[in-house]
Amino acid sequence: MADSDAGDDLCERSTEQEAQDNLRLVLLMCAAGELRCSQKTKRPTAATVRTVGWRLVGGDFYAEDPIAAFSWPLLIMAGGLARLNGSHLVLTAKGRVALNAPPFEVLRGLWQRWISHGLIDEFSRVDQIKGQRSANVLTAVKPRREVVARAVGRLPPGEWVTVDSLFARMRRGRLSPQITRSDRALFKLHVGHPEYDSFGYSDVNSWVLAEGRYTLAVLFEYAATLGLIDISYTSPIGARQDWPDYWCAGELESLSRYDGLTSVRLNGLGSCIVSNDEA
Q: What is the mean pLDDT of residues 235-260?
A: 84
pLDDT for res 6:
40
List 85's β-bridge partners, or say none. Answer: 88
Q: What is the mean pLDDT of residues 197-212?
A: 90
pLDDT at 80 over 90: yes
Interatomic CA distance for residues 231 and 160, integer angstroms: 9
The 3-state secondary structure of 198-252 reads ECCCCCCCHHHHHHHHHHHHHHHHHHCCCCCEEEEECCCCCCCCCCCCCCHHHHC
Q: What is the mean pLDDT of residues 100-112?
A: 97
63 φ, ψ (degrees, to nearest 5):
-70, -35
3-state secondary structure of 160: strand
Domain ranges across the chain: 11-278
Summarize pLDDT for 186-196 with one digit per residue, the tens. Answer: 999 998 888 88
Identify which has the larger pLDDT, 202 or 7. Answer: 202
Torsion sign across C-alpha atoms 221, 165, 214, 79: negative
pLDDT confidence of 243, banded at 50, 70, 90? confident
pLDDT for res 196:
83
pLDDT at 91 over 90: yes
pLDDT for res 1:
36
Helix/strand number for the chain, H first, E second: 11, 6
Return the amino acid letter for 62.
Y
pLDDT for res 244:
78
pLDDT for res 4:
42
pLDDT confidence of 253, banded at 50, 70, 90? confident
**pLDDT > 70: percent of the chain:** 94
pLDDT at 251 over 90: no
Mean pLDDT lowest among 12-16, 78-82, 158-162, 272-276: 272-276
List 36's β-bridge partners, or say none. Answer: 88
Summarize pLDDT for 211-241 with one digit per residue, the tens. Answer: 999 999 999 999 999 999 999 999 999 999 8
Residue 241 region by backbone torsions, left for phi larger than 0, else alpha for psi between -120 and 50, else beta: left
Return the amino acid letter for 227.
G
pLDDT at 249 over 70: no
pLDDT confidence of 250, banded at 50, 70, 90? low
pLDDT for res 274:
93
Mean pLDDT, the chain, rounded, equals: 93
pLDDT for res 213:
98
Residue among 106, 143, 153, 154 nearest 121 (CA): 143
pTM score of the predicted model: 0.94
Identify which has the larger pLDDT, 199 or 5. Answer: 199
pLDDT confidence of 2, banded at 50, 70, 90? very low
